Amino acid sequence: MYAIATTSAALAAVVAGEQASAAPAAAAAGPLQPAADAQTTDSGGFSLGSLLDLDFQLGPWTFHGYLQYDGAIYDQAAEGPPESDFRRGGVHLGDPLGARNLNDGSYLRRARLGWEGSHGEHFAYRAMFEFGDADEAGEARIAEVWASYLRKPYSIRVGAFSPPTNMEGATSSDSNLFLERATAADLARSLGGGDGRVGVTMRRVVPGSMIALSLTGPQLDADEDYAPRAAILGRYTRAFKAQNDYRFHVGVNGTFVLAPASEQDAGRPERFPVRFLNTPEIDVDDTPLIDTGEINADRAQVVGLEFAAQRRNFYLQAEGFLFGVDRHGPGGDPRFGGYYVQGSWILTGETRRFDQTLAAFAIPKPLAPIGSGGWGALELAFRYSVMDLNDHEGAAGQPTPAGGVRGGRQQILGAALLWYPRPRVRLMANYLHVDVDRLNPAGLADPEPFGPPPATPPVGVQIGQTFNILAIRVRYSF
C-alpha cells in the first residue's frame, strides 16, 4: 500500500516472506527437489500440483520467491470540471486532479526472489530482492539483506529487514486477509519500520510470550532526505490458550523517532518533515486521498494496542494506534488516531496457524488441496478500518487555522473471499466501500496546496469522496 508515515517521497513496502525467514532452512543435498507432500503421477512424473510445490535448493542455500498480480476497478462518481468537482488527493504531489478519476487497471504488485541459509546451529542469513511495483517494475531493489544469531530464547538480527512493529505489520503478505494492510497499522509500520529498513533487532521468544526491541535508521533504496535517521521500536505480546479451542493474543507496541528526516534548503534553516498519507487500502491507483502534508518536527511517535482471538476456524483481530508529532516551532503538536477490526471464517474447516516467533497468525494449510481429492480451502473475511489525520482542522468554509492539519478522515468497510487451491497458491477478491471526509487544507501557511486555481478549490470546501473498489490478487510463492 502507498502509505507514508515519515515522508512525501517514500513508498512504504509491505512485509512479505517474513514468516519463511523466521527459521531459515537447513542445507539440502540436491539442486532441485519436490516438497514433502508433492504428488507424483502413475508414470513416475510430476503432477501439476507437485510442480507448484517444488522447493529449490542448491548446497546450503534455499531459494525463495513469489509473484503477486493485482487488478482493481474503482466505482466513482463521474469526473467533472475542476471548477465544480472538488475531489483532490495528495498535497503538492503528482497530479492534483487525479482523485476525480482513479484508474482501473492491473499490475505486478510484487515479484521477489532471493535465498537463505544457515551456518551451524546459531547463524542464519537471508537476501531478498524486489522486481515488482507499478512505478519501478523490473528494477532490482533490496527488500531484505540480514544475518542473525540465535541462542534460545534470544536472537539478534542485523542488516536491512522489516523490524517488528505491530501485529498486522508482522503478518506476512502471504497471510493478510486483504490485499493491503489496514491504513492505521500500515502508517504505524512505516514510521521507523517497513521492508529494507537498516537496523538491529533483539528478540526473546518463549512459549506464550514475545518481546522485541529494535534500533533502526533509513530504508535502503529510499530517498535519504525523507527517511528517519534513527528510531526505537518495541513490541511485547502474550498469547493464551483456553478450553474449548480458544486462543487469545494481547500486545502493546510503539515507535519513537529520535531524529526525523532532514532536508537542507539553500538559505533556509534545516527542516525536519514528517508526513502521513495513504491510498484507500488498494494500490492499483497510487493516488493518496488522505494526506497531512509535511509537518516540521523534532520527533514523532506512535503507540499501539493489539488483540486477537481464535476458536477453531473463526478468527478476530483488532489494533488501535495513537500518533504524535512534536512540532518544530510554533503551532502546537498534532495528534492523530486510527484503528481496525477484522476477522474471518474458514468455510472448509481449517484454522489459521499462530506463529509465536512473529506473534501473528498465518494462512491455513488446505486439508484437501486440488490434486489430492479436494478443492482447497475457502475463507470469508471482513474488515472495518478508520484513520483520522485531522487535528484542529477548523470549520467548513473557513481556511485551515494556524497550526491545524486537514489530512482527512477515512473509513473503509471491506469484505474478502480467499481461495487456497494449493498451499502455495492463493486467489483473493476484495470489495471495499470507501468514505473520505476531508476539507480543503488551504490556509495562510499554504494558500495553494494543489497549485493555482482551479486546481486548488475554494477555501474550506469538501474535497473527500465516497466510492467502491473491487479488486483481485493472484499469488504464487515457493
- Tell me the domains of the chain and their CATH numbers: 3-27+64-477 (2.40.160.10)
pLDDT at 6: 40
pLDDT at 26: 34
Structure-block grid coordinates of residue 458: 475554494
What's the distance, Cα to Cα, between the start and end of the chain in Å? 23
pLDDT at 47: 61
pLDDT at 223: 54
pLDDT at 189: 95
Give whole-number Cα distances, 275 to 3, 134, 296, 434, in Å.
10, 22, 9, 22
Separation CA 238–CA 211 (nearest Å):
9
Q: Which residues pair with 296 in a beta bridge?
A: 273
Separation CA 417–CA 147 (nearest Å):
37
- All residues at 6 or more sequence positions from 361 whose CB lies less than 8 Å from its CB, including other chains: 171, 175, 308, 310, 315, 317, 352, 353, 354, 355
Separation CA 78–CA 383 (nearest Å):
27
89 burial type by CB count under 10 A (0-12 exposed, 13-18 middle, 19+ buried): buried
Separation CA 367–CA 12 (nearest Å):
35
Q: State the DSSP code for 399.
A: P
For the chain (478 residues), the mean pLDDT of every run of 10, in chain order, is 42 33 36 38 51 72 90 97 97 92 94 91 93 67 93 96 96 93 96 92 96 93 61 96 87 90 51 87 96 92 97 96 93 96 97 93 93 92 98 96 96 98 95 98 95 96 98 94
pLDDT at 138: 56
